[in-house]
């Protein structure tokens, strides 16, 4: 089942079960007698957004809701769900489907179908290569970077959906994407960063190099560190002690490189990050009108590029305030540490990664120039008023 949490109410956004009587848009009153509102109250203190902005909170709870119910109920083969639709309530039992002999049989059928299609080996190889370049997620069945043309018969308007900055080969992916924009003489580019929780600095910096108007740019500021010598050791902190001798041939050269990136200025220690030095922009960069779609799920590295594009007055922003702070994100080096008493493992960010352009207001995300919020009805019916707003603006 798909869930949507909005205004302290849980909705069924998608029926992924075999029960056709479940209607998308129904309110979920309880699961196994546990109200979602009670779970929200209990687990709300366990997550937060960057500062005072709250747009990320609902999205985080929505994503983690199945996990919370699992913590409360354990693993169950079936669950009883109480729904509300219009003025009536109804109860259904949702049964978990297991992989079994039938699944293997289905797998065999798929194999047979593929053989009947008999695609040339070259096409299969090209598809595999494309998936590596654009970052294919087999579970979600989508690419990390997706280029489309939302207006039928008009190639001057392009939509670039970047799901994350974690998968694929960004240099090759963005080169192909922006070459395509040039070939199509695209005048309006819509960059969709909604739901993008961030990822690698090298990935987002590469995208930014195709969007800036200036010939040179700097993406982030050097990070402040307490010591030039301790940083390399924190990069491997949390690993088993027996692994250090094995990894020493890699740790020592890495430490040397890290030390060469560090410097002191006015008594403060800094280290260079990916994108913290001035670089040349891409010759094939996009120079037309740019719109950026944002929401509470725009986080971390996605907020960094949003800040630079917003403060640099490069784009018009549409949607909701980003969940990630406009002033920067804690990331860079994230060692896995073990708490002494509970022995729980946790990741701890060591660097305050700040965008090149700075904002005056702390504790808030990147604000949209044109605020648009998706209603529950929009989500249920698959409507996208944020994108529609931009397309109507372009049409005018």
Buried b (16+ CB within 10 A) or exposed e, 248-273: eeebeeebeebeebbeeeeeebbbbb
CA distance 335 to 347: 6
Hey, how many other C-beta atoms are within 10 angstroms of the C-beta on 46? 10
Q: What is the pLDDT of residue 341?
A: 93
Residue 309, token pair as written in the block: 């594009």
* DSSP per-residue string spanning 123-138: HHHHHHHHHHHHTEET
Q: What is the pLDDT of residue 125?
A: 77
Angle 298-301-303 from CA coordinates, rounded to 5°: 45
CA distance 88 to 127: 49
Q: What is the pLDDT of residue 324?
A: 92
CA distance 334 to 234: 8
CATH code of 123-214+279-319+363-395, in short, is 3.90.226.10
Return the closest-CA partner of residue 269 out of 255, 258, 253: 258
Q: What is the pLDDT of residue 244?
A: 58
Express as a percent the part of the chain with pLDDT over 90: 57
Q: Where is 290: in which H helix or E strand? A: strand 289-294
C-alpha count within 13 angstroms, C-beta hemisphere, residue 261:
19
Which residues lie across from 329 on neighbouring strands?
A: 353
Per-residue pLDDT of the chain (396 residues; tens, 9 = 90+): 788 999 999 999 888 777 888 888 999 999 999 999 999 999 998 887 777 888 999 889 999 999 999 999 998 888 999 999 988 998 998 887 765 544 444 444 444 444 454 556 667 778 888 999 999 988 778 899 999 999 999 999 999 999 999 999 999 999 999 999 999 999 999 999 999 999 999 999 999 999 999 999 999 999 887 766 666 555 556 566 666 567 666 656 665 666 567 777 888 888 888 999 999 999 999 999 999 999 999 999 999 999 999 999 999 999 999 999 999 988 777 777 888 899 888 877 778 899 999 998 888 999 999 999 999 899 988 899 999 999 999 998
Task: Tell me the C-alpha to C-alpha distance, in Å, between residue 290 and each of 187, 200, 293, 357.
Answer: 9, 23, 10, 18
pLDDT 10s digits, 345-358: 887 777 889 999 99
Residue 8, token pair as written in the block: 């302290």
Helices (H), 44-120: 55-73, 101-117
Return the closest-CA partner of residue 371 out of 290, 299, 293, 304: 293
Hey, how many other C-beta atoms are within 10 angstroms of the C-beta on 10? 23
Which residues lie across from 342 on neighbouring strands?
A: none
For the chain, count helices (H), then strands (E): 11, 22
CA distance 169 to 154: 28
Which residues lie across from 158 on neighbouring strands?
A: 189
Q: What is the pLDDT of residue 333?
A: 72
Q: What is the pLDDT of residue 260?
A: 64
Reported for 341-350, long-range contacts at CB under 8 A and 24+ positions apart, including other chains, are 345/238, 350/225, 350/231, 350/234
CA distance 196 to 395: 27
CATH code of 2-95, in short, is 2.30.42.10
CA distance 190 to 86: 37
CA distance 224 to 185: 42
Return the closest-CA partner of residue 29 out of 97, 92, 73, 95: 92
pLDDT 10s digits, 45-54: 888 777 788 8
The overall longest dimension of the chain from CA atoms, in Å, is 70
Q: What is the pLDDT of residue 257?
A: 60
β-strands 316-319, 262-265: how paired? unpaired
Q: Where is 122: in which H helix or E strand? A: helix 121-134
CA distance 181 to 176: 9
161: phi then psi, degrees, rounded to nearest 5: -95, 115
The residue ranges of every structural domain in the chain are 2-95, 123-214+279-319+363-395, 230-271
CA distance 95 to 17: 8
């Amino acid at each position: 089942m798909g869930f949507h949490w909005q205004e302290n109410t849980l909705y069924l956004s998608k029926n992924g079960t075999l029960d056709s009587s479940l209607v998308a848009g129904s309110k979920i009153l309880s699961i196994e007698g546990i109200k979602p509102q009670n779970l929200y109250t209990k687990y709300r203190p366990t997550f937060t957004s960057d500062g005072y902005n709250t747009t990320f909170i609902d999205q985080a709870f929505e994503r983690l809701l199945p996990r919370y119910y699992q913590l409360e109920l354990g693993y169950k083969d079936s669950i009883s769900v109480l729904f509300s639709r219009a003025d009536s309530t109804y109860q259904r039992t949702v049964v978990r489907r297991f992989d079994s002999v039938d699944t293997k049989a289905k797998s065999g059928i798929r194999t047979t179908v593929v053989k009947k299609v008999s695609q040339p080996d070259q096409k299969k190889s090209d598809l595999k290569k494309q998936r590596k370049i654009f970052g294919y997620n087999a579970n979600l069945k989508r690419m990390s970077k997706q280029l489309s043309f939302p207006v039928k018969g008009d190639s001057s308007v392009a939509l670039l959906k970047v799901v994350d900055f974690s998968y694929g080969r960004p240099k090759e992916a963005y080169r192909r994407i922006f070459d395509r924009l040039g070939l199509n003489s695209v005048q309006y580019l819509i960059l969709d960063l909604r739901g993008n929780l961030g990822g690698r600095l090298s990935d987002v910096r590469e995208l930014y190099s195709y969007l800036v108007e200036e010939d040179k740019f700097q993406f982030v500021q050097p990070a402040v560190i307490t010591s030039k010598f301790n940083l390399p050791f924190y990069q491997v902190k949390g690993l088993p002690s027996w692994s250090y001798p094995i990894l020493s041939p890699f740790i020592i050269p890495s430490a040397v490189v890290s030390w060469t990136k560090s410097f002191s200025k006015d008594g403060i220690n800094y280290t260079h990050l990916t994108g913290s030095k001035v670089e040349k922009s891409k010759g094939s960069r996009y120079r037309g009108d740019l719109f950026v779609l944002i929401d509470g799920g725009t986080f971390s590295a996605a907020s960094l590029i949003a800040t630079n594009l917003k403060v640099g007055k490069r784009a018009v922003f549409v949607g909701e305030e980003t969940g990630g702070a406009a002033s920067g994100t804690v990331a860079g080096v994230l060692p896995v540490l073990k708490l002494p008493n509970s022995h729980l493992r946790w990741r701890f960010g060591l660097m305050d990664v700040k965008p090149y352009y700075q904002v005056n207001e702390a504790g808030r995300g990147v604000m949209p120039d044109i605020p648009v919020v998706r209603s529950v009805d929009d989500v249920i019916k698959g409507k996208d008023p944020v994108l529609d707003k931009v397309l109507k603006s372009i049409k005018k």
